[in-house]
Structure formats: structure tokens, C-alpha cells
Amino acid sequence: MSPESPTERLELAGMNDIPPEAIPPWEAEWTLFGPIANEGDSSNWPGKLGWDPLPLDAATEIPAEITIEGQVYRPQKTFSPDGLLDFDAIFGPTPGAPMVYLLQEIDSPEAGRLPIAFGANWGTEWWLNGELVYETRVGNFGDWHLRNSHQFEAPLQPGRNLLVVRVISGGANDWTMTVGHLPPRPGGSAEALPVQLPILSPLRPRPRDYTAPGLRIEERPAPPPVEVAAMQARVMAEHGVQAHWIGVVDPTGSPYGTSEFLPQRHEGRPEDEDLLIERVQHIHSRGMAAVTWFPGNHSRTAWETHADWRVYPFPGCETDGHQSHWGLCPLTPYGEALTQFVLESLDKYDLDGFWFDGTTWATSGAVACACKYCRRRFREDTGLEFPAAADWNDPAFQRWVAWRYEAFMNFWGQLADRVRRVHPHATIVINHLHRLRSSWLRAIPIDRYPARVLVGTEAMDSPFESAFHGRLVAAYGKPQSEVWMGIHKLFTRTSSWLSEADPLYRYAHHALATLTAGSWMSYGTPDPGERPADAYDRLGSLVNPRKPFEGGTAEPYVGLHLSQQSETHFFSRYTDWGFPKDCWQSFFGWHNLLAEKQLLTRLAFDAELTRAELFKYPVFLAPLSVALADEQVKLLEEYVERGGVLIVGPGFGACDRYGNPADPARVSALLGHDAVAADDAQPLLEAADPETTVRALGAGQVVELRGNVGLRFDRHRSPLLADEVAALLTRLAPPRVEIEGPRRLHVGLFRRPGKLYLHVQNFMAWSQAGSLPDPALTAPEPVENLRVTLHGLNAFSARLPLSDTQLDLAISGDTASLVIPRIDWHEVVELEV
């Protein structure tokens, strides 16, 4: 069809649906004292001063100055209209694990309760009128963009009140606090009875296969005494745990025991090796799988011993971050040493696998690796000379960035293959740290790769992240993908804790969000001993019976294009070697919008831009697909002409696969006009014009968005915007699944031979997530008689396998409908097709 094809113009009113009371004044303006020097980093957080008493702790007045360690600090004012306090931006780069005090005077006409919601990186203490009312000393591990990562109520007295907050940095980047808006808290505390998670009989899998267990717990202190190891194994196994991570290395990657390949830790004890062997024996005797944690490609003792194994940054791109001082390049002889250490440890300790955490090539902002081994391998693999500098405009550097992704994952694939030849039962897990706050510098690809490993990642405290990251790791196309969440807040109740909230519920929602997204879950570092037994009981009874219904092939409806070409080669080059937060928050917002409207969604990488993969999607959503190769543009044009619905955002196709300007006319057949020039990323991310056009092309449609819907929904959570976008999508491409229920429901549909499995989670809606108490901390309100309609899936019977209940299935043509009698937390529907 010619560029003059008819075009329908629409307005998305929800793009501007921002409540005027969103940011109340008290949350935006603060008095600051800082930055307070605090030696240390994230390896020994919270640093030298740590939680020692300091002058402003429990203050009841704002002083003219304070003195700490001989340094005088005077107050300064800061104002943040969006509630985000970025201390790196306020103070500039500060070494160590610096601290800051924030003080706020609040006038109250009478006694009451002030609802406070915040996210922070990392630790905080909160005092009101001299009394400690909340603390996060164990570390936040929360999405600091999510303003209700923490919630509590502070008791206001009539008249003037002084709120004092101490925030300790994690010693890396993103030293921030985000304070959000909550509605006023009415009357007395509600006394709603919590909905307990049912305790069901556990399923006992084969103990040597890490992929078979349900509940998986990371608990890896230094090698404990035999009686402690035996007690932990007993408590875990008797209360639903089916796999246990331990550590045969310390947090720096230095082995506790002796090794022929990696130097033992300096503080190593002769008995540590025997203690670890006995610990694994106790784990296996209780029917659990035993894997070990290992910090990616970091090993402090190896770094100190072998200078030629170290990661070598590009000149001028060095960093003082502590992990870069232990970072080792897998293309040096360290790669062989690590492989041999894995084989040695599997034999010595009788382990069932390795869980490689933080599997990154470079950290803390370094552009690396430029060692002699990398230079030689790059030349051998590409025929190009190694780039002279880290310069996005240099074609050799652009090619190096792409090569680096490939070389890194090839190493892990080779390690896994060599392990599997000797230990066929062993599982190799690669924890991807490319997520909502990790940059291209780490060399974790956002695309499929051939290594036969189990893919892992981490979610913070937000189950919305759990769902997003569940789909992110599933997009790699590897079975048994896994999303970890630390359960550091399991025992962090204070006197200000909300009565309706249960800390455990956050982790129940995490489990069900990842399962519904198509992956699995694990948990990390609870308090040792018998204290977590109740939590294990409740989590195990929730997840273990659901293990048989994990995974399958996600049924395609919307493919959300998360492009490494665009994220790395375009958006990252405009962030001063940093991380394009707004780009990722836009993807996150899009995902939450689609999930809220129960639209089946898969994240689609660049590897899916093939006829075999792309044409499976009725809707392909490319909101930030700026960098595309010519052949990818032509394929998308063919996709639309053959009946697909393509949704594009600002700057679509303006650059080639390496982020360089491309011929703007090459997208005119799709858009009806040339590509929008993209000289910088920020205008594309902040575009606010809500105009939308729908244009017919062949048998399909092209929808062009002139505003950043994903970022707008992430920031302002407009339900109207979600309704408008969903109505447009379903009008152009009828959905596979329709659910008549509240917008908080979260769904996934997965295909196995002869069967479909529909997962329905009684979750929460992003547009309603700012309520008090946080829905992530409360039991969901049950849903009764939920009607589900299926289109074109050819189902002929339905049952609830968790309760072995047969459902009536009404069939009319290619449409089938059923009613789920009740959903408390989550339900699975098994459909025969």
C-alpha cells in the first residue's frame, strides 16, 4: 500500500491523567547534613561508622551544625518535585559508603498517624520526635523507584514534629531515596484476619537434580559446626525446602578449602573442607539438592596471586569500585582454572551444581576487558584490530561491544558443557544481572545465546519486578529459568508495622508472579537456625505442589520487543557510560500495563526477528526499537502486510543495528513518513505528545505512538491509559484469553504437548499499587466465579489439577468458556487441546 494510505488519528487522554495531589509538599523539601564520610564499600557495608550512634540520631531540633570525626557539617536545603532524592547528583561522587541525614518538620493539628512509603539504596533509620519508628539495617534490596518498597506509620503528636532519616549508601552507585505519596490513613487500625497460606504435603523430588525441587533456599555462612549443619538440614527438609545453596567459597570468591586451581582464602581453617563435605552429606541425607554459590568471575585470592588473570579496563575508563579489584577475565588462564575448580569441587564435596551469582565481565563502571588475551581473541574472531579507545563512534568499538556479549556467554557455555560431560547430573546456573538497574558494561546479553545453562536473575522487593524478570529470563528460551529474591525483611517488624501486613506475603507474591510469568523462584539468606521454619512451611506449601505446572511454551499474543541493539548501541551511548534507566523503566511500564489488562505478553529479543518467530505474534510491540538492520525493517514490513499489528514508538528504525544514523526513508513504507531523527535518546524517552495513528498496510496495521506510554504508565499509573491502550490492541487483534474480573489479576498461558496450562494469579494492579497497606504485604481478596473465555485455542476439556476438580467447558465454534469457582492466591487450569 502506498504511503498515502488512510490514517486514523487517536488521542490517548490517559497520557495526561496525572492526579494533582500526587506529590504532597512535605515529601519534597528536606534539610540535609552530608555527605558524611564513611570508609568501606558494599563488601563490608555499612562501613566504618556503620550504625554507631551519631549526633543527629534521635534529634528533636535542627542544629546549626554538627561535627563528626572532626568534620563540621552545616544544613542545606534540597527540593525534589518528584520525590526522588539522588544524593550522587546532590553531592557528587563520594567514595566509600557515605551517609546523609534528612530532616523534615511536620505540623499536625492533632495526634494522628502519618503514612510513609519509600524506597532507598541502601540502609535507613527513621526517628520521629526522638523515637526510632522504622529501620532497614539489613539492607533495602528494594526497587528505589518503587515508592512503596517500604511502608510504615509514624505517630504524629499535635503541633510540631521532627522527622529524622539517616541513609547509608551501598558504596556503589544509585545512592538514592524515593519518597512517595500515600492516601490519608483513616481512623483506627483495621483488624482484618490474615489469609493464611494452606500447608499442604510437600512433594519430594529426586535430590540430585536442582531443576526438580520446588522451594530453593540460599543460606551460605562460613562452614558451620557439624551440629549446626545437621540442624539446618533437618529444619529445612522438615519444613518444605527441597534445594539448599551453600558456599564453598567466601563472599570474595576465595575457597574455604584447599584447591589445586584457585588459592585458598587467607583466613582458611584446616577443618573447613571437612565441615563442607559433612554439610553436603546432611543435605543429601534429608532428600535435598545441594548446590554452591560462587560470585561470577570474581576471586580475591586469585586476583592477588595472578596479575595476568585480571580484568583490564580501557585506558581512561578505570574505576575504584571494589569488585573490579577482584574481577578476573574468563579469556585469560583464569577461565581454565575456574572450570577445573568447578569440576574439582563437584567431586570433592559431592555437589549437584554451581549457582554463579553476579556473572559479569566488568563491574562498577569499568569499560573492560582490554587485556592481552582479549585483544588477541578479538582479532582472531573478527579480523579487526582491537579498538584504540572506548568510543561509540568507532566501528571497531561498536563491533567489540557486540563481540563481548558473544565471547562472554561462549565461555559459560563451554564451562557447562565440560562439566556436563563429567557430571551429567550437575546444574550450572548463570545469574543474569542485566535487569532494571544493570548496564551493558557487565556483558550480559539481552538476546538468546547457545550456552546450555539455567538462566537466573534477581528481583528486588517488588512482585511487579518478579513478573517482569520472570518473563525476561524466560525470553532466553532456556527451560527452568529462575528469579531469586532475598528474604531479608522476613523478620523486620517494628512497632510501626501495619497490622494487616505480613512480611511473608511479599515472598508469596514473588513466587506466584514468577510462576505465572513462565519461570521459577528461589529465595536467599534468611536468618539461620530454626527461626524461618514457619516461613518455609508456608512458602513450601504454596510452591511445591505447583512445581509440576511450571513452564512450557508461553502462548504468543503481544511480543514486547526488548532490543539489545537499541538498548546498548543507542540508549546506552547517551548515558555517559551508565545505564539507561528511563529506557528500562519504559519497558517495565509497558509490561505492567499489559499484565494489568490480562493481555498475554512475551518479551521478544532481537533473535526473534525471524519469520519463524515474529509471525507467531498477532501484535508486535516495538516502543523503543530505534536500532534496526535493513533486513529487520523489511521483515517487519512483511509481517504487517501479511496481517500483523505492529506498534512502534518515537525514533523507530532511525538507526542501524549499531546505533548509527540510517537512511530515514527505509521506514516510510511502514510509517508513511521518514524516520524521526534520533540525535539523542532523551527526547525519545520524554516525548509527551499523546497523538496516536493507526495506518493500514496490506492485511495488517501499523500503530505509531508519539508519546512514551510505558514510561508514563510507570510514573503515573493511570488506569485510564491502560484501558485505552488495551482497547486499541484488542480492537486490532482479538486476544486469546478474556477474563471478566478485577484488573489486579495476572495471567499466563503455556503450551505443552496436547495441553494448555492457564495460570491466574490474584495479584495486584500497578495503577493501584500505591495504596496503604501495600498490596504486596497483604493477602489478596478472594475472587469468586471468575469467567474465562478462550478464543481459537481448540480446548475440549478443563480441570483444576491442584484440587483435581473438573470444570464445565462451554464450546461454541472456536470459542470456549469456563468459570473458576474461587481464587485465593493462584489457580492453575489444565486444558486439553
Note whether 24 and 181 are within 8 A (CB). yes
Return the pLDDT at 405.
95
> 3-state class of 255 per DSSP?
strand
Describe the strand order of the beta sheet including 805-807 as a list of residue ranges: 553-554, 745-752, 755-762, 826-832, 797-800, 805-807
Can you tell me which residue has the cell 550512634? Answer: 53
Note whether 647 and 703 are within 8 A (CB). yes
Return the pLDDT at 29.
83
pLDDT lower than 70: segments of the chain:
1-6, 16-26, 41-43, 81-82, 138-148, 171-174, 180-207, 319-325, 364, 492-494, 527-530, 687-690
Tell which residue, 312, 311, 282, 313, has the closest CA to residue 296: 311
Count Cβ neighbours within 10 Å for each residue of 158-167 and write b for 16 or more, e otherwise. eeebbbbbbb
Give the residues across from 799 on adjacent strands.
Answer: 806, 830
Note whether 218 and 528 are within 8 A (CB). no
Taking the CB of residue 192, how many other CB atoms lie within 10 A of it? 12
Describe the strand order of the beta sheet including 131-135 as a list of residue ranges: 76-79, 29-36, 99-108, 159-168, 123-128, 131-135
Return the pLDDT at 604.
98
Cβ-Cβ contacts under 8 Å for 270 (sequence gap 6 or more): none
Residue-wise pLDDT tens digits, 121-177? 788 999 999 999 888 876 555 555 566 678 888 888 888 999 999 999 876 556 888
Return the pLDDT at 20.
43
Angle at 349 between CA 348 and CA 353, to 5 degrees: 110
Return the pLDDT at 325.
63
Tell which residue, 739, 763, 828, has the closest CA to residue 543: 828
Return the pLDDT at 113.
76
- First-last CA distance in the chain: 38
Using CA atoms, how far apart are residues 723 and 471, in angstroms rounded to an integer? 22
Using CA atoms, how far apart are residues 127 and 165, in angstroms rounded to an integer? 6
Can you tell me which residue has the cell 520487543? Answer: 561
Using CA atoms, how far apart are residues 833 and 830, in angstroms rounded to an integer? 10
Residue-wise pLDDT tens digits, 362-398? 876 789 999 999 999 999 999 999 999 999 999 999 9
Cβ-Cβ contacts under 8 Å for 493 (sequence gap 6 or more): 503
Length of the chain: 833
Note whether 569 and 658 are within 8 A (CB). yes
Note whether 151 and 502 are within 8 A (CB). no
Using CA atoms, how far apart are residues 114 and 124, in angstroms rounded to an integer? 18
What cell does 735 get? 486476544
Residue 363 half-sphere exposure toward CB, CA atoms < 13 A: 23
Using CA atoms, how far apart are residues 140 and 152, in angstroms rounded to an integer? 14
Residue-wise pLDDT tens digits, 691-746? 799 999 999 999 999 889 999 999 888 999 999 999 999 999 999 999 999 999 99
Q: What is the CA radius of gyration of the chain?
A: 27
Report the predicted TM-score, pTM, of the whole model to 2 decimal places: 0.88
Note whether 805 and 799 are within 8 A (CB). yes
Using CA atoms, how far apart are residues 553 and 513, in angstroms rounded to an integer? 17
Return the pLDDT at 183.
56
Taking the CB of residue 665, how many other CB atoms lie within 10 A of it? 10
Using CA atoms, how far apart are residues 435 and 621, in angstroms rounded to an integer? 19
CA distances from 366 to 175, 315, 712 (A): 18, 10, 32
Return the pLDDT at 656.
97
Note whether 150 and 134 are within 8 A (CB). yes
Q: Reduced to 3 DSSP states, what percent helix, strand and coil does the chain have, rounded to the nearest 5?
A: 30, 25, 45
Give 571's DSSP letter.
Answer: I
Helices (H), 383-500: 395-422, 463-474
CA distances from 384 to 193, 398, 399, 774 (A): 67, 11, 9, 54
Note whether 518 and 470 are within 8 A (CB). yes
DSSP H or E stretch at residue 341:
helix 334-349
